Structure 1
Amino acid sequence: MGRGELSSAALPRSFFDRPSHEVAPDLLGRVLVHGSVAVRLTEVEAYGGPGEDPAAHTYRGRTPRNAVMFGPPGHLYVYFTYGMHFCANLVCLSEGFGSAVLLRAGEVVAGLDEARSRRSKAKDRDLARGPARLTVALGLLREHNGLDAVREVSPAGWPRQSATMLEGRPVLPEVIRSGPRTGVSTAKETPWRFWIDGDPSVSPYRAHVPRRRSVAATSVGEVPSS
């Protein structure tokens, strides 16, 4: 790996107890570990709370689906979309606020063989290049919704099914770029998508294209219309 990301400490819960648009750029270069696979985050999107961000799942308040977003910070919010994909987010702010950061893309820095087995047709650059691909590479599924990503134990002590956010190597502010969020139809000009400039694992930007569907789109945004 050559970066030493996996030897770094776990991020504390206080790291996530901030507004999502502050946490999001600070997540770039950090490492999410789940089981044997670790992904260095290179692209994320922030989503605000109830009544303030119409692109967020929590815009209309708490529901059984988004309840994890109203829980303690630092937990994973994993949801199913388009009838085929899971997307993963990290909950921000104190319990009751309902906001999160969508994990859009990253580079697999450990467990490469495991990630390849899950995405056998993908090039290494593309293993976690996009929110659905990232969750597949990490092996995150519906049952991991609510998993705590804040752990105060050594790497040797992680259970295989745990999730842990490591400090990794945060990137310098001058290489962070921001712009509109991908694929959302409301609040689409809000510049809360953050990425590492020039990193090959960053996913391409796609504007929202109206389509017939009965489920939410592939971001934390896109509140179902029904």
Structure 2
Amino acid sequence: MTGPELPPGSGRRLTRAFFARPPEVVARDLLGRVVVSGSGPTTVAVRLTEVEAYAGADDPASHAFRGSTARNAVMFGPAGHLYLYFVYGMHWCANVVTGPVGEASAVLLRGGEVLTGSDLAALRRPGVRRTADLARGPAGLATVLGWGPATNGHDLVTGEEQLRAGRRVADDALSTGPRVGVSVAAQVPWRFWVTGAPGVSAYRAAVRRPRRTGSSSMGD
């Protein structure tokens, strides 16, 4: 059975060394890269247009700020693995682990543009009317890629789910600003996005919500 091919220009897979750098460096460098999920007819490829960095134990907005738990253990492992978390009892969000083992820094994948598998992406988000909005926001991006609890801990360097080189965004074509929706350290300008790209999140300050199982401090 044949199915969608990788989009032209998706390039080689990103290496472990690419991810094993400070989170803000990796975050900026992820813009324009291509996330690929599935294979054959289940392939969905998304060009990243918005990301957000978190610095582990030095960052009060990070899940790793208070140390290792069963929930965040993946963050303390090797760079290049996926860290998935459930938020507000309804959504999964995806992060890429960065930096050295034990530092637990990560980059939240906030949004992108669907390049391959748009029909499948639309089936996974039936309430979305505009193609440009299919992979908008971290929950939307994880949904169109088909990512959830089974994807937590997946190795993007060697596994089926992968990040490919794509085309790095030039400095004069990107923007940076405060992180979205976090209640602490929101002023840190570690949200990066492709200037003018469709589907990039509008900035919003954090709104205090009642704590529920699976709620999060990392930008939702």
TM-score, reference length from structure 1: 0.89
**CA RMSD after TM alignment:** 1.8
CA distance 1:218–1:34, change in 2 (3 Å): farther
CA distance 1:61–1:105, change in 2 (3 Å): same
Q: In the aligned structure 2, how far is the partner of 1:68 from the partner of 1:221? A: 18
CA distance 1:74–1:37, change in 2 (3 Å): same
- Give the Å deviation of 1:219: 6.0
Q: In the aligned structure 2, how far is the partner of 1:191 from the partner of 1:28? A: 15
Q: In the aligned structure 2, how far is the partner of 1:218 from the partner of 1:44? A: 17
Alignment partner of 1:34 out of 37, 49, 62: 37
Q: Secondary structure at the match of 2:56?
A: coil
Alignment partner of 1:203 out of 189, 193, 201: 201
1:155 matched to which residue of 2? Answer: none
Is 1:44 matched up with 2:84? no
CA distance 1:150–1:87, change in 2 (3 Å): same
Q: In the aligned structure 1, how far is the partner of 2:82 from the partner of 2:214? A: 18
Is 1:166 matched up with 2:164? yes
Runs of 4+ in 1 over 3 A off after TM superposition: 215-219
- Asked if structure 1 preserves the Cα contact closer than 8 Å seen for 2:34 and 2:164, the reply is yes
2:148 matched to which residue of 1? Answer: 141
Listed as ranges, the gaps of 5+ residues in structure 2 are none
CA distance 1:127–1:133, change in 2 (3 Å): same
Kindly provide the amino acid, as one letter, of the partner of residue 194 in structure 2.
Answer: I
Q: Secondary structure at the match of 1:194?
A: strand
Q: Secondary structure at the match of 2:92?
A: strand
Q: In the aligned structure 2, how far is the partner of 1:99 from the partner of 1:75? A: 11
For these two proteins, the number of residue pairs brought into alignment is 211
- Asked if structure 2 preserves the Cα contact closer than 8 Å seen for 1:5 and 1:166, the reply is no
Q: In the aligned structure 1, how far is the partner of 2:76 from the partner of 2:186? A: 23
Q: In the aligned structure 1, how far is the partner of 2:200 from the partner of 2:215? A: 19
Q: In the aligned structure 2, how far is the partner of 1:125 from the partner of 1:33? A: 17
TM-score, reference length from structure 2: 0.91
2:95 matched to which residue of 1? Answer: 89
- Asked if structure 1 preserves the Cα contact closer than 8 Å seen for 2:49 and 2:193, the reply is yes
Deviation string for 1:163-182 (max 9, x for gaps)? 11000011101111111100
- Give % identity: 54
Kindly provide the amino acid, as one letter, of the partner of residue 92 in structure 1.
Answer: T
Kindly provide the amino acid, as one letter, of the partner of residue 172 in structure 1.
Answer: A
Q: Secondary structure at the match of 1:90?
A: strand
Q: Secondary structure at the match of 1:5?
A: coil
Listed as ranges, the gaps of 5+ residues in structure 1 are 152-157
